[in-house]
Structures are given as structure tokens and as C-alpha cells.
Amino acid sequence: MKRMIQCFCIAGALLALATFAPVAYADGRDYNDGPVVNVSSIRTVDGHLDEYMHWLATTYKKLMEAQKKAGLITSYSVMVVEARGPNDPDIYLITEYKNWAALDGLGNKADAISAEVEGSLDQSNHAMADRAKIRTILGSRTMQVAVLK
């Protein structure tokens, strides 16, 4: 009799686990939150693409590598695209962050790295103003990757 009660208890426990386990694991979403990505759209002034690409390959790369080393970003990339009209970008700058929380206080941290790489924050700001002569920032968009399950 005792053995039979144990069997019923074990069977009941297994039935309860089988019934409630899918509910515990299913959150109703078919994806998980992935990294946060910022995409900046850049249009270079005609005849200045190589000059801007040189800046990207030197100073920009140093800045991004320093931010990566400091743990502010997880990755970055530069995409050169065919502009289909006069108001379309010809370069996309893509920066990946671990999550939305990585953006908290990012400005001050990035400014400190810019000052370190470019000499001072004033020099960094002056260099940014100079780049405005060879490129236009058309805008940027920040989004989160949906990692499908």
C-alpha cells in the first residue's frame, strides 16, 4: 500500500511538472532582446569621399577602438552605399551597444575618450566642425535587434 501511494505521488508530481513547465518557460514572445544598434546616415560632399574615408580610417577608428576597449561599445562598422538621390546617404556608420543601459551616461564617457584621442574636447569639437565642410549628417536611428528563438 505504501509503495502504491509513493507511485501515485511520483506520478502526480510528474504530471504537475509536465503541465506547468511549458507555462514557466513560455513568455509569449518568439524573440529575445538583442544588442542595441545606432545607424548614422552620412552624405559626403561631392569629391570628398576619400578625404572623409581617410578620417574614418584614422581618427574615427582610434575613437571606436578606444570605446570598444573601455567597454562602451561592442562593435562598429562603416558601410559605403550607392546614393540613389541627392539627399540619400553614401555612408552608414553603425555602432553596436550591449543593451539600452549602455547608453546611460554615454556622452560624458565618450567625451573623455574623444579628449584623450584628439588632445582635448575643444580640439575634438573643432575637428567636428571642420568635418561639416566635407559631409552632412542626415540623421541617425537607434534600434534593438530581435533575436529570434
Question: Is residue 6 a part of any domain in this protein?
Answer: no
DSSP string, the chain: -HHHHHHHHHHHHHHHHHHHHHHHH--S-SEEEEEEEEEEEEEEPTT-HHHHHHHIIIIIHHHHHHHHHTTS-SEEEEEE----STTS-SEEEEEEESSGGGGTTHHHHHHHHHHHHHSSHHHHHHHHHHHTTTEEEEEEEEEEEEEE-
The set of residues, in sequence order, having a beta carbon less than 8 Å from that of 83 and lying 6+ positions away, is: 43, 89, 90
Tens-binned pLDDT, residue by residue, of the chain (149 aa): 555 455 444 555 555 555 555 544 556 899 999 999 999 999 999 999 999 999 999 999 999 999 999 999 999 999 999 999 989 999 999 999 999 999 999 999 998 998 888 887 777 778 888 888 999 999 999 999 999 99
Any domain includes 10: no
Number of domains in the chain: 1
pLDDT of residue 144: 98
In a domain, 99, yes or no: yes
Domain holding 86: CATH number? 3.30.70.100
Give the structural domain span for 125.
31-148
Residue 4: the pLDDT is 45
Q: Phi and psi dihedrals of 47, rounded to 5?
A: 85, 0
Residue 24 belongs to some domain of the structure: no
Residue 130: inside a domain? yes
22 inside domain: no
Does residue 18 form part of some domain? no
Q: Give the per-residue pLDDT at 61.
A: 97
pLDDT at res. 52? 97
pLDDT for the residue 10: 54
Is residue 8 domain-resident? Answer: no
